[in-house]
Amino acid sequence: MNEEQRSLLLESFSRFPPPKGVKLSYGTAGFRADASLLESTVYRVGILAALRSLKTQSVIGLMITASHNKVSDNGVKIADPDGGMMTQRWEPFADALADAWDPYEFLCLIDDFVRKESISFDDDHTAEILLARDTRPSGEALLKAAKQGISCIVGAVSHDLGVLTTPQLHWMVRAKNKGIEATERDYFEQLLNSFRCMVDLIPGGRKTNLNSENLIVDGANGVGGEKLEVLKELCDDLVIDIRNSSKTGGMLNEGVGADFVQKEKVVPCGFGSIDIGMRCASLDGDADRLVYFLVLPHGSKIDLLDGDKILSLFALFIKEQLSVLNEDGHGTTNSHYHGHLGIVQTAYANGASTNYLKNLGLDVALTPTGVKYLHEKAAEYDIGIYFEANGHGTILFRENFLSWLESRKDELLSISKEKHKAALRLLAVSKLINQAVGDALSGLLLVEAILQHMGWSIHMWNKLYVDLPSRQLKVKVVDRTVVVTANAETLVVSPPGIQDTINALMGNYPQGRCFIRPSGTEDVIRVYAEATTQEAADSLANSVAVLVDQLLGFGSMQ
């Protein structure tokens, strides 16, 4: 770095000192904390984003959000050139940068990293960063801090895109780096054009009136409800009753939102007996998670259609299109067909969903918990689908498979109209789904299009399989790192002997399944158990939690 660059960094450092006694760590959610503690961190992430742009010579995104957290929290994270999460290799530098207290330590840290990464500051390399925030009141001030950080890097340029959902920003970064028009209008147009294409391709015998049953959506009092209002205005065929929008005055994520609905399994605020049996959905605070639900009679309970159910619906539809595409003319499907479909789950996926997918003949892979692992594995397939039970997930299409579809679609028309339509449907899905990151808006449109294609109500969708009862617990321990797992966190390899005891306990319950894993953020061991009844699942989870507590804990199970 030259003297001008050093001087800019030193001068700005004094205006954004880190809060004393606070250490933050960059993880899947980026940095996240009480908003009052984040000004210095967001300023430094502005510097980080500019350096990442210089290194990759690409457009980078910076999003200010705390997703499903309470409104007093906020956070900041980086979107890499492909629209995905920032590479894990840069996370240690992000942590050190956020926590550096001394100005010269701060400067040396950046200087050393720039040298190690061979980041160039010459006139031929400029940094470009897209900025956005959700609807939190603290977002505007934090956005200013991010801009200050970006401006500390010579030649760096930021573009403030205002209030967006997190997936919108990720989509725009990906589109911009692919040379595609990347405004919010472009995002909406691509989603709606693809949605309409899928609706137009619905088989005549299955097509029903889109207005016949309203979809009721809980917007979590956040940005997702606000953007869904825009979609609704742009698409006359989309009949949605939007509740808990950011404009209705409710508190962000308080008694509302996908995280609340999925964890508590009760109706969100604004829903009640008038909605019994209706098709309902819930977004989270920044609209990167989606779950559906049915309001049950007598009380506030719901029947939840979570990320596993959404994944299963998507997998069934795509398998159907691939089967049509690859029929050999005699009603059978070639075993080595074009378009290898792979399903990616974690051990937290309900066992009933995994069994359902395997019974469809699909390739199901397990990864450790975390979107970064799921996304990476899904990218190995021609079409890879991943979802977590919390409603975060997407579908990835390999570029050469899409090129093959695009180049063959006209030829397929001369062979079979159905093959041609199957190719068009897959191409439409690839443009409707947000391939950068989980996106509640694009996911919702895809669910609605597939239900129309199938001619299904939400009740029929819900009958794909019945979830096995499950229970999650956590046990406080002295040191979570002593537990080492393998096989996508389903097997304990250290301390020795624990896995044998867990296996013996599982054998006491029909369809008993249980695993433990260390938390990524706190000194607890997480316990997950399933069985054929809730009583059995609770008993299995408690038995394993007692085992962990006796060996590693303080006698304080939760």
Task: List the domain boundaries for the chain.
Answer: 3-163, 470-557
**pLDDT score, position 194:** 97
Rounded Cα distance, 281 and 105, in Å:
49
**pLDDT score, position 68:** 92
Residue 544: count other Cβ atoms within 10 Å of its Cβ. Answer: 25
**pLDDT score, position 207:** 56
Three-state secondary structure of 146-172: HHHHHHCCCCCEEEEEEECCHHHHHHH
Q: Which of 12, 40, 53, 67 is catalytic?
A: 67
Backbone angles phi, psi at 471, to 5 degrees: -145, 135
Residues flagged as binding site: 67, 284, 286, 288, 388-390, 517-521, 526
Residue that the structure tokens 């919108």 belong to:
168
CATH-assigned architecture of domain 470-557? 2-Layer Sandwich (3.30)
67 noted as active-site residue? yes
Q: Cβ-count burial of 57 within 10 angstroms (0-12 exposed, 13-18 middle, 19+ buried)?
A: middle
Retrieve residue 285's tokens.
């605070």
**pLDDT score, position 38:** 96
Based on its alpha-carbon atoms, the radius of gyration of the chain, rounded to whole angstroms, reads 24
Low pLDDT (below 70) residues in the chain: 123, 205-213, 329-337, 554-558
Residues 6+ apart with CB under 8 A from 208: 452, 455
Strand partners, 386: 344, 394
Task: Decide if domain 3-163 falls under CATH 3.40.120.10.
Answer: yes
Residues flagged as binding site for Mg(2+): 67, 284, 286, 288
**pLDDT score, position 414:** 85
Is 64 in contact with 42 (CB distance < 8 Å)?
yes
**pLDDT score, position 208:** 54
CA 506 centroid distance within chain = 31
Rounded Cα distance, 238 and 442, in Å:
13
